[in-house]
Amino acid sequence: MTVQDKDIKEILFTEEQLHSKIQELGKAITKDYVGKDLLMVSILKGSVMVMADLMRAVDLPLEIDFMNVSSYGSGTETKGSVKILKDLDVDIKGKDLLIVEDILDSGVTLHNLINLLKQREPRSIEICTLFSKPDRRQVEVEAKYLGFEIPDAFIVGYGLDYAEKYRNLPYVGILKEEVYS
Ligand code: IMP
Ligand code: MG
């Protein structure tokens, strides 16, 4: 047992389970994007693991880019605003954008981001998220590619953090309560 493993109460998804789900998603994306101009956009930092594995599971010519955003929150006045911490490097006009996320929670971040990116006139925008917590949704967001639906619990590992730690765990688990306190 490693130093980090000791903080984990329960493993929800093993490395093997994550790998086979990513392969499945990659196959579906490969099938759908034949003949398109695919640009995979990873939303930093949580989706780096998903991105690294998923891009290798897509058997097509494609481009990648990275973006980092923060939402101003879910209050009615701030809805629709998203702060760009790191913008895309490439022009997305006419491209088939696939946003790659780790987890869809309230949906606020992705909802706002999609609205912002649509103004740049890509040909299409779809979302691929490894996890989704449907019970937590505040705004409607449609993810065409979804790995696992999970109940409302805070998970870490495979890119997902608690206070910026645990992103490097190869599996996904739930933290012990004592870690938070
Ligand atoms: P939302 O959908 O706008 O609420 O924000 C989703 C973001 O919240 C994700 O990209 C994660 O960074 C973070 N997040 C939500 N749930 C979890 C979790 O269970 N573990 C770690 N990060 C989470
Ligand atoms: Mg994130």
Which amino acid, 42? Answer: S
> What are the DSSP E strand ranges found in the chain?
8-13, 38-43, 63-71, 82-86, 96-104, 124-132, 145-149, 155-156, 172-175
Domains annotated for the chain, with CATH where assigned, are 16-150 (3.40.50.2020)
Q: Which atom of ligand 1 sits closest to the CA of residue 105? A: 2
Residue 25, ligand 1, Cβ within 6 A: no
74/49 Cα distance (integer angstroms):
27
Residue 129, ligand 1, Cβ within 6 A: no
State residue 79's pLDDT score: 55
CA nearest to 41, candidates 33, 32, 50: 50
pLDDT digits (tens, 9 = 90+) for 63-119: 999 999 987 655 544 555 789 999 999 999 999 999 999 999 999 999 999 999 999
